[in-house]
Structure formats: structure tokens, C-alpha cells
A and B are shown apart, each in its own frame.
Chain A
Amino acid sequence: MSAETIFEKGRPGRRTPYLPDRDWQPGLLDQLPMEARRRRLPLLPQVTEGEVVRHYTNLARKNWGVDVGFYPLGSCTMKYNPRIAEQVASWPEFAAAHPLRPVRAAQGWLRIMYETERMLSRLCGMARFTLQPAAGAQGELCGMLMIRRYHADRGDPRNTVIVPDSAHGTNPATASLAGFEVVTCPSSERGLVDVGALRRLLNDDVAAIMLTNPNTLGLFERDIQEVCNLVHEAGGLTYYDGANFNALVGRFRPGDMGFDVVHLNLHKTFGTPHGGGGPGSGPVGVVEKLEPFLPVPLVRKGREEFEFEEDRPKTIGRLNAFAGNALVVLRGYVYLRLLGTAGLRDASGGAVLAANYLKHRLVQCYDPSHPGRCMHEFVLSAARQRAQDVRALDIAKRLIDLGFHPPTIYFPLTVPEALMIEPTETEPLETLDAFADAMLQIAREAEQQPDLLHAAPHTTPVGRLDEVAAAKALDVRWRHDSDLEEADRA
């Protein structure tokens, strides 16, 4: 299979017509002044539908998905995505609804949103949720903007946000985008927030702490209530990054840990597909005192029907043109309704069981970041293999040869040669065992034939691509011959 682009296929004039021929009144386009018209049509492909379908089907075959095989990407929760959610999301009653139709003509939609908000609030122990953020990172921005507004509203503006050194990159990036100074809190040797260090960082400029629990090492922050209390005593708020909520869903609530703001990722915990990197959905929940700052619109139950709430004087505003990624919310709703609380408990139980089982099997050959129990994911270090000149990257690439998507690598930054593994609850035991066997085989290969690993993968359409050269000789769009001619003339 070659890497030929769609632009290299087809012939001028080739196309599939989709619209009926209609006779427009002559001269209709004359109403459009010349200066408003485009001079040259965009250089799009000129191919038939058959060629398009074949081209993208062949691209699909070069891709890995949960539907293809095991995808233990740490902190991404690559669980099975139920197909019923896709089917419901394709119904025209949902999919063809205009976002600005009268609410009377969208009562089905508002009901889905209202009920989703209630279910998420209950699962998290929050007063209310907004469904508007389009992804986890936008949820974080939403949360941090609310925190900023909350302090300002009390006449106590604060500028510092504390982020643990093991946090996802989005946490510091979001805090910074929301206008905060970021201070990093070190982890203790146990891999948890260092409470002593946190105490020293707290002062009356601290607006909030952003935490994941379990954290990115897959460890439960057992001092969580003390951490939240300390931050609250200093006048700050506590932000829960829900990336790892799959470990606890249906069993424990961020609200009970002491969190004020929570973002969830419907595409992780609630089984909506990742789509190759989006679209996701990142609902944000808040405790009562932060409710006034939620973005608009919200959905409420009026006297006769559901309605949008737009008039909220203290709102942070609006994050997207409309009410968020509604069709992703709908998929999350379907997942929530199918599983119910019992099913969710079963999911978090299965996820933690699978992770511990895998960890148990793998620590014979790889060094865990921390010994003992983990939650839904765990981090191994390839430090032992590094001594044999084999890096986490080599192990990852070799896994591809053996039929698995690699784990997250080189994250968290606090663990050298990190391999972060999250099996999820939907993988059969046979798959977990096969993966463990493959990892153990690779550990042996690292000792005996490291070059096999250095040259991996061997089975893919391309080998390791030179990213450094790609960033230097930047080529980020196909250039047609006519482009090149123009460039030559210029």
C-alpha cells in the first residue's frame, strides 16, 4: 500500500454528480458582484466516488483502533465503544436537528441533556454540570475560568495554580491559558502529592490545585481529603481532572474527596469513540457555590417543557457556538442508561482488576514505578532494559510487530523510560495474557537480540519516521504541479 495522496489520483473533469440538474433563471449569478467572486476554483481532487471509497478504505486499513485490537494506552481509557450509541446518534430526529430550532421542536434533545446532567451530577457528587465543553482540555479551561471568576467575584483575585509534577500537560497549559501562574508541586517517593511540599506552596494567592485521582501513576491519592482541606483553608479551590475516573466510577465520588470542580471525558469513562483524536466531550461539574459561573446555555425544566437558561449574569460566557458536542453527549447518555450504576461499578471493578492482574504478570521483567496495588492503570519503567541499550520506544515499536497497540510512553515525566498501561474492563482475559506474554517475550529479546527491537516495527506499511527531519523540512500540504510552477515564477 503506497502513501499516494488523493490529489495524485483521478483526472481533470472526473466527478460524481450528487445534485439534480436544475434550471436556474438566466443571469441569476449576475446579482453577485465580480469583486465578491472567487478567481480560481480550489484545487480539490477530481475523482469518482469509487476512487474515494477505495482510497479511504485503504487508509482505514493502515489504522489501529479498539475495533482492531488491544489498545492499552495509559490515561486514554480505550474501552469498547457500543454500537447502539452510534446507531441512535445517526437517527435524523437527533442528527438533523438545527441547534437554533425553537425549543418546542427540540424537547427530545433537551430531555437527553437534562437527564445526562442529572446522572453525571449524581455520579460525581456535584450540584450541577455543563455539557458544553467539546473535550477534556476545553472542560479544564471552563473550570479554570470559573475558578478565576469565583475569586474575582469575592473581591479576592488570585493568580497561582498548583499542579503536581505528574499531571497531564493540559493542566499547566490550561491554567496558563486561563491567565494563572503555574507552580509545580513535587510528588513524594510514594508517587503521591507531597503534602509537606504542598503546605509550603500554599498562600493567599493560590486560586486552585488541579489533581487527577487516581493520579497518572495509577495510584490513589490517599491523602486526598487532607490535600483538599489544606487548599480550602488557604482559600483556594480544588479541581478534579476526570481523565482517570474510570477507576472509581459508580463507587466513589470526587465530591466526597473534597473537589469543587470536576471535568469528565465522555470519550474515556463513558464509552464514546475517540474518532482518531476527537470529537470528544468534556462536561464540567461544580459544587453549589460555583453554579452561578457555569457557561451558558444550561438546560432547565420549565413549567411545561424543558428550556434553555441563557440569562445568567455571573456566567463565564460561552465556549462554543452552540450547546456543545450534543451527539457525543447522546452517546454518553446511551452508555450511562445501558450500564446503570451497577454496570458502572462492574466497569470500574473490571478495569482495576485487569490492571492489577497485568501488573502482577509484568513486574517479573519490568520495574514498576511503584510496588504494590494499582488502580485502573500502572506505570512500568524500562530502566532495566535501558541498561541493555533498549528504550521504552523500542519496546513500544516491537509490540506493534506482535499485534498490540503500545502503551503511552515517556509519560508521566517523573518516571524514566515510562510505559503507562491501561487495559480497561472490556478486554478478555485471553487478550490480557497474550499481551503479557508479548511483553515478556520482548524483555527476553532485549537481552538476546536488542537490534531486533531497535529496528522495529517490521510489519507496518512504514518504519520509524524521521520526525526531526519532518519538522525541519516542513511539508504540511500536498502541492500541485501548478503550485510549484507558480512558486518557480515567484
Chain B
Amino acid sequence: MSFSPHTQENIAHMLRTLGLSEVDALFDEVAAVLPPTDIPELPGVSEFELRHQLWDVARLNGRPDQTPCFRGAGAYEHYVPAAVPAIISRGEFLTAYTPYQAEISQGTLQAMYEFQTMVCALLGMEVANASMYDGASALAEAALMAMRITHKRRLLVSGALHPHWLHVLRTYTANLEPDIVLLPVRDGLTTPEHVTDALDPDTAAVLVQSPNVFGLIEPIRQIGARLSDHPSLFILAAYPTSLGLLTSPGEAHADIAVAEGQPLGIPLSYGGPYLGLCATKLAHVRQMPGRISGLAYDDAGRRGYVMTLQAREQHIRRERATSNICSNQALCALAATVYLALLGPDGLRAVAESSFAVAHRLADRLAALPGCSLAFAGPFFNEFVLDLPVSADDIERELWNDGIISGLPLGRWWPERQNQMLFCATEIITEAAVHRLVAAMEEALP
């Protein structure tokens, strides 16, 4: 299949204009240098055939409407109103590029400005950028930012940070050889005492995620209070939906707040594209990576939006830029903007409360199963760890045989947690799905 618009006549006309007899002649110079290639031939197919073939491939993933999924661990399925995909699939948004020409990019630029406003409102921060690749890379960029601001190299990282996020942090910062100190975890939580004990003059930042990888709500107000008179920065990673209910990073005196924005109207998508949220205090805006949209006026005094503070960015600063990032996740940011506008403050709270309620009801049911109990006593939002009397891998397998995607076996990340499973529920989990899960668990447990 080809999307070429050129007829034989068109091609002949262009070639004639150029004084050439065939298209391949345009590559003579290349062919003179490079050896003849034997690129394995891949046959093209028609759209009709391909769609049929892909139906079969898609089916290998199972039917999601018949496969309830009780897994979160950094990716959360929430209800997405139909208006979200309807807006973001409009060609004017979908097929635009970076708004280099502001006059014909006011749609993208104003949406970015509105997005930044909503991120600030949600996270309780003063300035936000127009988004980053995902939450994990946003956290890594935040750590780099803190090291630039403080000129220090030690990072105190909560031991209850999502292990993939920690891995990304290590990957991004490897060449700076930061001193990454993992804070001990007690009862599934980071403790303010451990933070205070570990703080020293070399500390660039303290990094905490709440709810943490075990789903537990961290004592972020207390940690923030202990850091308030210390020069090191407080970097907080949040779950945006939970902020309809839970303390915002701003209320906890975070200096930089990041989040995985996927839960805000973006499908699970097998891991991407997602949406990194990043916000900070006004004082640090010039050290913040990523695009920013700002209000501007034209000669006639009309209001518009432009990409601003570009002097931080790679296309101007080259090797001295704050980051090498040269895009954002604009379409995902637009999805989050439309989603938050549709929900409003009360709608967001309703989603948060509903997720909280469904997950707590699920926890009660599962903890009542023989040999099962909650692993931690601390408060949680919509995710919790269940202690099982058997290997979580076995339960995962048994449940999948029943067409259910169980919680996540934690032995995958920590061998000593072989019998633990991280369960998640949001507002989309129906009463019927809970019944199905509980029945299957009863069957699978010894």
C-alpha cells in the first residue's frame, strides 16, 4: 500500500523538470558510495488484509471487557468520558507539531497553558511545564534539577518508591555518580525520623512517592515540615487522581512535584504513551526542564500564548540546556486537560472517593479469606498489599486461567515478598467483578 499521490504523469513531469529519466537517479550519489544492499523484502499489504490479520493478533491479548484487572502499580484504569478521545482525535490537534509558529498554533499553546494551570491546581504548586515523557522520567529530571539548584550530589530516596522509577532515576543520573541513599521502610512507610537522621549538608533532595509502591499514604506533611528549614529540596511524586482527596504536594511543602498523569483520561496502553507531570516553585522555574506556554500579547493588544523561557532549551542552549527534551507529550497533556475540565473539582473528588471506597471494600473481602490478611496497617488510597498463605505466582496463574488478572505478585520485585500480592481497584471495578475475584480466590487458595 502507498500513500503517494503522484501519478505516472506527475512523476514524469517532475523528472523532466529536473532533467532526469528515473527516480532512482536521484540516489546516484548515495549509490556510488554505499554497497548495493540486500534489504530483506517485506511485502506490503492492503488496509483490508492488515485489519483482518490484526484482529487475530489483538485477540491474543484477551477481551478486556471480559477480563477484570486488579493491577495498578504505576498504571491505573479510570473511567474516561467519551468526549476525551473525541477531542484529541481531531486532526488539528493530532497532526500538528510543536507550536513553532504561534499564530497558527494557538489551539495547542492555549491548551498547554490550561494544562499547566490545572497541574498547578492539582499539585498545589506555582508553575508547571507542558509535560514530560512519563512520571518516572519526570522524577529523574526533577532529581537532576535539584542537583543543579543545590550543586549537591546526594539523593535520599524513599525505599518505598516504585522500583521501576528508581531504576529510571539510576539510569538518568548514572553519569553524575550521585550518592543515592535508600531510606529504610518501616511497616511499608518512609518515616520522618529516618529522613531527619539521613539529612546532611550534601543532600540535594529527598524523594518520596505517595501513595507509595505498597499503596500506602506517606506522612508527607511531617516529612515536609522536617525539611522546611533545610536547604535540600523535597521532591514528591503523587498519584493525580488521589489528589481529589489527599494532601497535595504543595500542602506538604514540596519544592518539586511530579506525577504520572496517565490516570487522567489516558488508557493503560500497555505502558505508553503516558504523561509526566512536573511542577515547582516560581523561584526554580528557570531550572525546570521542558516546554512552557506563557501568556503574550500582539501589537493590537490581543491576548495569545507562546512557548516561553526557551532560553533554557536545547534548540537555543545546545549542550548547556537544562535537559535534552525537545518535545512534550502534548496529545496526552490535552487528554488530561479535557478530562479534568469534564470532571471539575467535584467530579475528581467523586472519582477519588469512589476508588477509595471500592478498594477498601475489596480489601475487607480479601482479608477475610482463609489465610489472607493485609500486610500493612497504614492508611491506603486504592491499592494494598495482601499476605497470602501460598506463592502469589500460583494465585496469579490460577486466576488467569479463570480470565482474571490478579493483583501483582511482589516476588517479581522482592524475592522475600513471594507470598504478597499488590491489589488495586478503581471506580471501574464493579460489584460483579469483585464477586468473581473473591470466588476465584476462594477456589485457588488451599
Quick one: CB contact mask for B62-96 with A, threshold 8 Å, 1 for yes? Answer: 11110101010111010101010111011111111
Q: Which B residues from 189 to 239 make CB contacts under 8 A with A? A: 217, 219, 221
Q: Which A residues from 315 to 341 make CB contacts under 8 A with B? A: 316-328, 334, 336-341
CB distance from B31 to the nearest CB of A (A): 8
Picked from A45, A222, A253, A275, the residue with its CB within 8 Å of the CB of B331 is A275
Q: Which B residues from 39 to 57 make CB contacts under 8 A with A? A: 39-47, 50-51, 54, 57
Beta-carbon contact of B102 and A462 below 8 Å: yes
Contacts of A59 in B (CB 8 A): 106-107, 110-111
Beta-carbon contact of A325 and B345 below 8 Å: no
Contacts of B324 in A (CB 8 A): 137, 140-141, 170, 173-174, 176-177
The stretch from B149-157, B350-358, B438-446 touching chain A is B350-358
Which residue of B is nearest A460, CB measured?
A: B103
Query: In the complex, what distance in Å separates the CA atom of A41 from the CA atom of B310?
Result: 32
CB distance from B359 to the nearest CB of A (A): 11
A437 within 8 A of B: no
A44 within 8 A of B: yes
Contacts of A122 in B (CB 8 A): 39-40, 42
B60 within 8 A of A: yes
Beta-carbon contact of A220 and B30 below 8 Å: yes
Contacts of A471 in B (CB 8 A): 294, 308-311
Known contacts A60-B93, A94-B270, A172-B319; A252/B30 CB under 8 A: yes
Beta-carbon contact of A462 and B164 below 8 Å: no
B179 within 8 A of A: no
Residues of A in contact with B, size category: 35 or more
B185 within 8 A of A: no
Beta-carbon contact of A97 and B379 below 8 Å: no
Which residue of A is nearest B44, CB measured?
A: A340
**Which of B4, B113, B251, B274 has the most chain A CB atoms closer than 10 A to its own CB?**
B4
Beta-carbon contact of A462 and B304 below 8 Å: yes
Query: In the complex, what distance in Å separates the CA atom of A35 from the CA atom of B379?
Result: 11
Contacts of B304 in A (CB 8 A): 3, 461-462, 465
A154 within 8 A of B: no
Contacts of B269 in A (CB 8 A): 94-95, 97, 99, 326-327
Beta-carbon contact of A462 and B302 below 8 Å: yes
Beta-carbon contact of A317 and B168 below 8 Å: yes
Q: Which B residues from 9 to 52 make CB contacts under 8 A with A? A: 10-11, 13-15, 17-18, 23-24, 26-27, 29-30, 32-35, 37, 39-47, 50-51
Beta-carbon contact of B251 and A339 below 8 Å: no
**Which of B2, B13, B120, B293 has the most chain A CB atoms closer than 10 A to its own CB?**
B2
Quick one: CB contact mask for A260-299 with B, threshold 8 Å, 1 for yes? Answer: 0000000000010111111110000000000000010000
Beta-carbon contact of A6 and B96 below 8 Å: no
B181 within 8 A of A: no
Beta-carbon contact of A102 and B405 below 8 Å: yes
A441 within 8 A of B: no
B436 within 8 A of A: no
A96 within 8 A of B: yes
Contacts of B92 in A (CB 8 A): 60-61, 63-65, 67-68
Which residue of B is nearest A97, CB measured?
A: B270
A438 within 8 A of B: no
Query: In the complex, what distance in Å separates the CA atom of A274 from the CA atom of B356?
Result: 36
Picked from A41, A279, A339, A341, the residue with its CB within 8 Å of the CB of B244 is A41
B104 within 8 A of A: yes
Contacts of A16 in B (CB 8 A): 81, 342, 347
Beta-carbon contact of A476 and B58 below 8 Å: no
Query: In the complex, what distance in Å separates the CA atom of A172 from the CA atom of B318?
Result: 5
Contacts of B360 in A (CB 8 A): 28, 31
A452 within 8 A of B: no
Picked from A66, A94, A373, the residue with its CB within 8 Å of the CB of B95 is A66
CB distance from B9 to the nearest CB of A (A): 9
A225 within 8 A of B: yes
Picked from A32, A76, A406, the residue with its CB within 8 Å of the CB of B356 is A32
Beta-carbon contact of A323 and B271 below 8 Å: yes
How many B residues touch A, CB cutoff 8 Å? 195
A382 within 8 A of B: no
Query: In the complex, what distance in Å separates the CA atom of A105 from the CA atom of B270?
Result: 11
Beta-carbon contact of A46 and B108 below 8 Å: no
Picked from A95, A106, A119, A271, the residue with its CB within 8 Å of the CB of B42 is A119
Q: Which A residues from 1 to 52 make CB contacts under 8 A with B? A: 2-3, 5-7, 13-19, 22, 24-25, 28-29, 31-33, 35-39, 41-47, 49, 52
Beta-carbon contact of B379 and A347 below 8 Å: no
Contacts of A257 in B (CB 8 A): 34
Beta-carbon contact of B60 and A135 below 8 Å: no
A371 within 8 A of B: no
CB distance from B236 to the nearest CB of A (A): 14
Beta-carbon contact of A350 and B4 below 8 Å: yes
Query: In the complex, what distance in Å separates the CA atom of A18 from the CA atom of B427?
Result: 11
Beta-carbon contact of B323 and A173 below 8 Å: yes
Contacts of A109 in B (CB 8 A): 61, 270
Query: In the complex, what distance in Å separates the CA atom of A101 from the CA atom of B361?
Result: 23
Contacts of B284 in A (CB 8 A): none
Contacts of A14 in B (CB 8 A): 344
Beta-carbon contact of A279 and B329 below 8 Å: yes
Query: In the complex, what distance in Å separates the CA atom of A327 from the CA atom of B128?
Result: 26
Picked from A28, A35, A100, the residue with its CB within 8 Å of the CB of B408 is A100
The stretch from A198-206, A420-428, A443-451 touching chain B is A420-428
B433 within 8 A of A: no
Contacts of B427 in A (CB 8 A): 19
Contacts of B101 in A (CB 8 A): 64, 396-397, 400, 405-406
Beta-carbon contact of B293 and A476 below 8 Å: yes
Beta-carbon contact of B174 and A145 below 8 Å: yes
B314 within 8 A of A: yes
B338 within 8 A of A: yes
Quick one: CB contact mask for A102-142 with B, threshold 8 Å, 1 for yes? Answer: 10111111011000000100110100000000111110110
Beta-carbon contact of A400 and B64 below 8 Å: no
A256 within 8 A of B: yes
Beta-carbon contact of B57 and A275 below 8 Å: no
CB distance from A67 to the nearest CB of B (A): 3
CB distance from A379 to the nearest CB of B (A): 16
Picked from A42, A295, A322, the residue with its CB within 8 Å of the CB of B348 is A42
Contacts of A339 in B (CB 8 A): 1-2, 44
What are 23 A-B residue pairs whose CB atoms fall within 8 Å in the complex? A29-B353, A36-B247, A42-B121, A44-B345, A46-B345, A63-B92, A93-B61, A99-B270, A104-B400, A136-B327, A145-B171, A169-B315, A173-B326, A274-B97, A321-B260, A340-B42, A341-B39, A353-B11, A462-B102, A462-B303, A467-B296, A476-B128, A477-B117
Known pairs A137-B327, A340-B42 / 13 extra A-B pairs, C-beta < 8 Å: A18-B347, A31-B379, A66-B91, A68-B95, A86-B94, A169-B314, A274-B97, A276-B108, A338-B44, A343-B1, A460-B103, A466-B298, A477-B113
